[in-house]
Structure 1
């Protein structure tokens, strides 16, 4: 059986093996079904198998998305699936289901696939490893996610896409214009107006959302001497940093970060450090920023 698994992995492209390719090399469906039953490979969609274990849920979703859309006419990956295959981040996404969009409803849809229908669909060809898959444009996927789960879910990938150059503000505006009249479009447009490619991580994007909601103007990615900070308030010399790695298992990294913070403080700046948990409590963020402002030395 080890030889069979080795053969299947050799035939696979980016970890995916189609039943057609397997059959062409002498491996029939019975062998594939038996290997799936033993847990050696995973059936992702009809005639599509994952023969190399996915390292995490995102990679599994990417592989499943590629398998699901294979061979479907005038159908593209959409919503979070269209973002994941492009390597863009998602926020609060349910990656157990693959999202596809087409111009006509299909009679039979697997339970792990959410099939959406639109009057017209424009498809991009997205290169994933050695495979090319159809997906809706980035702007459409971002807007779809926003209408489905709210503005923050859209803003996180929008920031990342703008930063890497695969999305523009004009693209977002055009995609929003296509869904005028849908419930939630107005609030989504307001939040996507905050899209800023200077945010470097989803945590920084969500930190910015908190500051916007508190009515605090700020500038992302500002240099203070030799140090670049995530955000600097425009009206007060207060730095706001997102700390997604409070773990700091490396003692040297922990010490270096403390020295950096002290160096920034020595220049007369207040300093607020936020974690993932903090971002879910707007009142806590407001209180920390207020304490940092109140602690600033005042010129007489």
Structure 2
């Protein structure tokens, strides 16, 4: 639908919001993909159709995707996706802004300065405080949507950590999160980050993902034998359960403290 709109308007609109992010290959989570979003390039007229919304133009120049489709800048789309649309309860999918920002930063086609500028341009939007509060934590070291969500949960619980930290004795192995005060490594287990890494493969993607996951577990066992770190793992369906994250990470912290030499 988005591509059809771009072609039918012949340069008078560019893709925006989640539609722009999809065209750039950016992963999302809860954003509504049943509606295409575009912004006009000149006039301020808006239009709502059952499956498409045409928004006013943004102040920045459009950019092109790898396939040559014109979109608003990625920074604009990252902010837009968390602001619109809200569901029936008024809740906006703000976490998609953070998931998209982490991925775009990690891939190198979004800068912190561009993101801050896009936030300033939406200062008067009623949903901007929540999006701004999330995006101040945007971090290109998170390598999957699951890691982004898990990091958010741990921040809410007050845990301080370093993403993608190198571990001693692990032959180059990195932990998704290393707590700052105690030797506890928190990992996100999920096929998603491996599938993203192998998405260009014509076949065998899931099999390759499973092999990568098994290999990571074997590396973890080696690290455990060489260091005094405690490990905690969470799956996609667990990362948003604050009580579970608090209890499981808290138990690992307690074990790590008991293992410390007197």
Instruction: Say yes or no: TM over 0.5.
Output: yes
Instruction: Indicate conservation of the 8 Å contact 2:46/2:55, yes or no.
Output: no
Residue in structure 2 matched with residue 170 of structure 1 by the alignment: 113
Flag the 1:255–1:75 CA change in 2: closer, same or farther, 3 A: closer
Tell me which of 209, 223, 226 is aligned to 1:264.
223
Residue in structure 2 matched with residue 88 of structure 1 by the alignment: 26
Instruction: Indicate conservation of the 8 Å contact 2:46/2:53, yes or no.
Output: no
What stretches of structure 2 of length at least 5 have no aligned partner?
85-91, 193-205
Residue in structure 1 matched with residue 245 of structure 2 by the alignment: 285
Answer yes or no: is 1:97 the counterpart of 2:35. yes
Task: Give the C-alpha shift of residue 121 in structure 1.
Answer: 4.1
Flag the 1:231–1:277 CA change in 2: closer, same or farther, 3 A: same
Instruction: Indicate conservation of the 8 Å contact 1:121/1:136, yes or no.
Output: no
User: Cα deviations across residues 191-236 of structure 1 (Å, max 9, x unaligned)?
Assistant: 1111111111111111111111111111111121311211111111
What stretches of structure 1 of length at least 5 have no aligned partner?
1-63
Normalising by structure 2, report the TM-score: 0.80
SS in 2 for 1:277: coil
- In 2, the alpha carbon distance for the partners of 1:150 and 1:110 equals 21
Task: Give the C-alpha shift of residue 255 in structure 1.
Answer: 5.3
Instruction: Indicate conservation of the 8 Å contact 2:81/2:93, yes or no.
Output: yes
Residue in structure 1 matched with residue 202 of structure 2 by the alignment: none
Answer yes or no: is 1:158 the counterpart of 2:101. yes
What do you get for the CA RMSD once the two structures are aligned? 2.4
SS in 2 for 1:271: strand
- In 1, the alpha carbon distance for the partners of 2:228 and 2:207 equals 29
Task: Give the C-alpha shift of residue 272 in structure 1.
Answer: 0.7
Residue in structure 1 matched with residue 3 of structure 2 by the alignment: 66
Deviates more, 1:96-105 or 1:275-284: 96-105
Answer yes or no: is 1:209 the counterpart of 2:166. no
Aligned residues: 233
Instruction: Indicate conservation of the 8 Å contact 1:76/1:123, yes or no.
Output: no
SS in 1 for 2:191: coil
- In 1, the alpha carbon distance for the partners of 2:213 and 2:97 equals 33
- In 1, the alpha carbon distance for the partners of 2:128 and 2:249 equals 31
Residue in structure 1 matched with residue 176 of structure 2 by the alignment: 230
Flag the 1:258–1:158 CA change in 2: closer, same or farther, 3 A: closer
Instruction: Indicate conservation of the 8 Å contact 1:123/1:134, yes or no.
Output: no
Residue in structure 2 matched with residue 29 of structure 1 by the alignment: none
Residue in structure 2 matched with residue 45 of structure 1 by the alignment: none
Task: Give the C-alpha shift of residue 86 in structure 1.
Answer: 0.8
Residue in structure 1 matched with residue 233 of structure 2 by the alignment: 273
Residue in structure 1 matched with residue 195 of structure 2 by the alignment: none
Q: Which has the higher contact order (CA 8 A, sep 6+)?
A: 2
